[in-house]
Amino acid sequence: MNTDRMAAAPTPGTHANASTAMPAGRDDDVTTRRSAGRQADVFDLVVVGAGMAGHCTALAGAEAGARVAWLEKTPRYGGSTAMCGGAFAFAGTDVQKSKGVPDSPELLEEDLMKAGGWFNDRGLVHTYAERQYDAYRWLQGLGIPFDQVSLSGMQSVPRNHGTNPREALRLLHERALASGLVSFRSDAAAARLLTRGEGAERRVIGVELAGGERLVARGGVVLATGGFSRSRELVDRFAPHLRAARPMGGEGNTGDGLRMAWALGADLVDMGFTKGTFGAPVDAPAPGHEDRAPRILSAMYRGAIVVNRAGRRFVDESLSYKVIGDRCLEQPGAVAFQVFDQQVMDQSSPLPSVADYRAAHAAGLIREAPTLAGLAAALGIDADGLAETVRRYNDARDGRSSDEFGRTSLSTGYGTPTLVERAPFYGIACTTGLTSTYCGLRTDTGARVLDVFGAPIDGLYAVGEVAGGFHGASYMSGSSLGKGCVFGRIAAADAAERARRDPAA
């Protein structure tokens, strides 16, 4: 296992460990103090996990002057973040203003609460709404561009600020290592939390790695381990209704952070609300397109309809892709098809990648035909059913009838759906993916993990997807990357301050 404190940042997908090794315990290595025998290395802060939340935490810790040990279980940093659509939900930004989008922190807060069915923790949501603009400016200041804004699930105005998530991670990683205060290790799984003291005196003082090595954190340990979409056992336990959903998300996302905190009596929240995401292409991308093809596509928010094998709609497509995901699993074969015309294809944009229809088309995932009958044949769905569905849908758009599923907007009351009429026609077979779990450790607005009685577990923080409470019953697009950044910065600042206040801890 190696540290690579001063090494050049590897991009997501490269091996961080092998080429960037620095022997631990060198005299000039200010980040570690390794001595003979059993004494552990001592840091101000230990960050567990290297997705968006871990990156923001590690860098913000270094900015606050903390010496940070940063662990990643897999050979590559990135987790789900490196695979994701790259959309951040921010409100009141210059990009929105330049496009005439009327948004505000208050509207964002209301949309988040509405998306979560008011089951969300209002304190967490309010903190996000208050701090998100600052996080946006911070990311921009680090060189991460946000020049596009689009509409997505449960947003009452276009609010998804698209960026390339891999490039964003690379920039954050480089900055963190360049600080000279961050020691990053890949292939380094945290296995247990270390504590000192009993009862009210107990505090988390570090982590033990899978090989038995111990790292001490004077200011605290931040769990940024992502969700549990890759743990069959935890999916069976907490989300058995999603057994048929396709596991997606980072390969290391097996719920380790949940278990480690659980062992200390941490409370869990929102577990019953875990939902899949509609829009995972059924087919594999053509060879050579694996990295460019979107992993999730949501053309319904730009005007596509969603039908089953019989060519019939079964849901209001303006609803959250989580809700559509549930309905998709009820369809024959758990498959549904997004069908659209050239007007929607013309709105394709590279970012966020969920709207990159051209990349999906080039990868062979989207089929094209000059007629609806031809498209039905290409997709293997009932041609008469599709023709009848499109006729009825277009009648509703023209005001000749009301929409049979109550669709009146592109998404959540915003935008006007167009007719499906301009050839050529396009379609893609999709299923529901378990991209993210969005439930987990209960935290307060300072990102401190709470135990089952509501008291903070001293010295333990949770940020990003491993933390529950923020989303409630469902999810507003773009809010996961955003909350990882906002709460990662909060946790880092608090832990750094604790280490400063109590240097001998």
Ligand X SMILES: Cc1cc2nc3c(=O)[nH]c(=O)nc-3n(C[C@H](O)[C@H](O)[C@H](O)COP(=O)(O)OP(=O)(O)OC[C@H]3O[C@@H](n4cnc5c(N)ncnc54)[C@H](O)[C@@H]3O)c2cc1C
Which residues here bind ligand X, judged by CB under 6 A? 48-54, 71-74, 78-81, 83-87, 189-190, 224-226, 248-250, 252-253, 256, 295-296, 352, 435-436, 464-465, 478-481, 484
> Cα separation of 182 and 318, whole Å?
44
SS3 178: helix
Q: Name the minimum Å distance from CB 427 to ligand X.
A: 20
Residue placing its CB nearer to ligand X in the complex, 74 or 443: 74
Contact indicator for 282, 336 with CB cutoff of 8 Å? no
Contact indicator for 136, 90 with CB cutoff of 8 Å? yes
Residue placing its CB nearer to ligand X in the complex, 96 or 435: 435
Q: Name the minimum Å distance from CB 151 to ligand X.
A: 13
Residue placing its CB nearer to ligand X in the complex, 447 or 496: 447
Q: Name the minimum Å distance from CB 165 to ligand X.
A: 7
- What is the Cβ-side half-sphere exposure of residue 165, based on CA atoms within 13 angstroms? 30
Residue placing its CB nearer to ligand X in the complex, 10 or 79: 79
Residue placing its CB nearer to ligand X in the complex, 50 or 305: 50
Q: Which amino acid would we find at residue 143?
A: G
Contact indicator for 366, 425 with CB cutoff of 8 Å? no
- Is residue 21 packed enough to be buried (19+ CB in 10 Å), middle (13-18) or exposed (0-12)? middle
Alpha helices in 64-197 (DSSP H): 94-98, 105-115, 122-141, 165-178
Residue placing its CB nearer to ligand X in the complex, 247 or 374: 247
Q: Which residue has the tokens 């946000």?
A: 146
Q: Name the minimum Å distance from CB 436 to ligand X.
A: 4
Residue placing its CB nearer to ligand X in the complex, 54 or 459: 54
Residue nearest to ligand X (CB): 51
Residue placing its CB nearer to ligand X in the complex, 151 or 396: 151
Q: Name the minimum Å distance from CB 450 to ligand X.
A: 18
> Cα separation of 402 and 398, whole Å?
9
Residue placing its CB nearer to ligand X in the complex, 54 or 417: 54
Residue placing its CB nearer to ligand X in the complex, 226 or 303: 226
Residue placing its CB nearer to ligand X in the complex, 112 or 420: 112
> Cα separation of 370 and 382, whole Å?
17
Q: Name the minimum Å distance from CB 98 to ligand X.
A: 21
Q: Name the minimum Å distance from CB 200 to ligand X.
A: 28
β-bridge pairing 367-369 and 425-434: antiparallel
Residue placing its CB nearer to ligand X in the complex, 188 or 386: 188
CB under 8 A, 24+ apart: contacts of 281-287: 281/360, 281/365, 281/428, 281/429, 281/430, 282/335, 282/429, 282/430, 282/431, 283/364, 283/365, 283/429, 285/363, 285/364, 285/365, 286/363, 286/364
Q: Name the minimum Å distance from CB 261 to ligand X.
A: 11
Kindly report the backbone phi and psi dihedral angles of residue 309, in degrees, each rounded to the nearest multiple of 5, phi listed first: -60, -25
Q: Name the minimum Å distance from CB 376 to ligand X.
A: 28
Buried b or exposed e, range 22-31, using 16+ CB within 10 angstroms: bebeeeebeb
> Cα separation of 270 and 288, whole Å?
39
Q: Name the minimum Å distance from CB 431 to ligand X.
A: 13
Contact indicator for 471, 435 with CB cutoff of 8 Å? no
Question: What are residue 184's DSSP bridge partners?
Answer: 70
Q: Name the minimum Å distance from CB 466 to ligand X.
A: 6
Q: Name the minimum Å distance from CB 36 to ligand X.
A: 26
- Is residue 283 packed enough to be buried (19+ CB in 10 Å), middle (13-18) or exposed (0-12)? middle
Q: How many CB atoms lie within 10 A of CB 369?
A: 17
Kindly report the backbone phi and psi dihedral angles of residue 448, in degrees, each rounded to the nearest multiple of 5, phi listed first: -80, 135
55: CB partners within 8 A, 6+ apart: 77, 81, 169, 172, 173, 176, 488
